[in-house]
Amino acid sequence: MSWKSYVLGAATVAALLATTACEPGSITGSDDAKPSDQPSATNSATPGGTASATPSGSSGDTGGSDGNGDGGNGDSGAVAACTGDDLAVSATKEPADSKEARHLVLTVQNAGDKTCNVYHYPYVKIGDAQGTTPVIKDSDPDPGKPVTLAPGDEAYAALLVAGGGMDEYEANSITLTLHSSRLGSKAGNPIDVPMPVGTVYADDGQLVTYWTTASGLALDFITSK
């Protein structure tokens, strides 16, 4: 072999080695690419994990609120208190042909489209009396429980206008105010009761009963007075 052939062969080998080192498919190039692939895999997993965890936590919070909160099961089946807007109010004499209007039946009818409760007894004011009519405590038919009125249902309270007491006075108006659920409280404004006669004669012996769904039961507490 001549020296020229040797030099050309060595140059060819060097050129081949240089070309191989620069190719992108080399082993060294593959190892260098691995770190750049790893963050890509991590970024792909992170949104997936976050999206899965967020709805799960949100659903759990909502379920806890619905199960324990007042706006969930607690109020969904509750019956609201009746208001003056829900009720039609009337008063009748007992007996109906009585010349005197000493014994009256106060009637409230649920004129709305939803069931509601009336509580305890009505606060009654006859004419210009300073205070409200005392209640007959023993007349509560079911102590501590309201009278529940479906649409069209009625509740009754008997009113003794004059019990043979002192300080008789004339009155041409009667109002009633509803109780709220707490005994001794008031709900809403006074409601005008249509008068069964032009004038009644009241005295300080007047009395009223608790609400009941039986007018005869209410009357039993005042007709003997």
Assess contact for 147 and 212: CB atoms under 8 A: yes
Tell me the pLDDT tens digit for each residue of 32-72.
333 334 333 333 333 333 333 333 333 333 333 333 333 33
Mean pLDDT value across residues 80-101: 94
Q: Among 85, 87, 89, 122, which residue's Cα sits nearest to residue 195?
A: 89
Q: Among 83, 123, 95, 88, which residue's Cα sits nearest to residue 211?
A: 123
Residue 3 to residues 6, 8, 63, Cα–Cα distance (Å): 5, 9, 90
Beta-ladder partners of 175: 125, 192
Task: Specify the pTM.
Answer: 0.66
φ and ψ at residue 87, rounded to 5 degrees? -115, 145
Identify the band that residue 77 occupies on the pLDDT scale cut at 50, 70 and 90: low
Q: Among 91, 82, 117, 119, which residue's Cα sits nearest to residue 175?
A: 91
